[in-house]
Amino acid sequence: MFSRERKSTNEQIVEKVLLEKYNSFYRMAISYTHNEADAADIVQEGAYRAIRNCKDLKNTEFASTWVYRIMMNEIYRAVSKNRPDSLDQMEEYQEEGKSDTYEDTDLRRGLDSMDPEDKAVIELKYFEELKLKEIAEILGENENTVKSRLYRGLRKLRVDLEAEGYDR
């Protein structure tokens, strides 16, 4: 297959994944940013990068995983770039409208207190209903590492929720 044909086929496949999984990508982004505009920017930038680099997709069977990985990298990049370093910056950050647009629930606070990698595993597993093997591919980690992150994260979440007085 010629390079141009491959790019065209890959581009079509990547565009299909982006359209089918847009809501999932957006939910993941908003769960980290708590801001609709920032989440939309992240997904837009991730989509741009995926389409721009679609020629690098070697196996089209893994297109969905490949795009998820791009989106997660984009989320991590945006979160680390925008994270306030001090209490004063946090107040400015919230005044600029970057505060949570959702109700402040115990579960959300528990998830937000987690390491980004542990949070990603839980959200991909329970909110996006992905298998551990798919999550491992998306995050570029060993499946056993993903299992450990999942169980450690769930244990931390349970402890945090119990400390907040949450009963099942």
Has residue 139 got a pLDDT over 50? Answer: yes
Assess contact for 75 and 34: CB atoms under 8 A: no
Q: Tens digits of per-residue pLDDT, 16-63?
A: 999 999 999 999 999 888 889 999 999 999 999 999 999 888 888 989
Q: How far is CA 76 from the centre of its chain?
A: 8
Nearest CA to 125 among 154, 102, 159?
Answer: 154
- 5-19, 48-62, 91-105, 143-157: range with lowest mean pLDDT: 91-105
Q: Which of 56-65, 110-119, 159-168 has the highest mean pLDDT?
A: 56-65
DSSP string, 32-83: HH--HHHHHHHHHHHHHHHHHTGGG---GGGHHHHHHHHHHHHHHHHHHHH-
Q: Name the token pair of 156.
A: 């931390």
Indicate the pTM of the whole model: 0.69
Task: Give the per-residue pLDDT at 162.
Answer: 82
99 conformational bin, left if phi > 0, alpha if psi -120 to 50, beta if neither: beta
| pLDDT band for position 15 (cuts 50, 70, 90) | very high
Assess contact for 102 and 108: CB atoms under 8 A: yes
Distance CA 4, CA 6 (A): 5
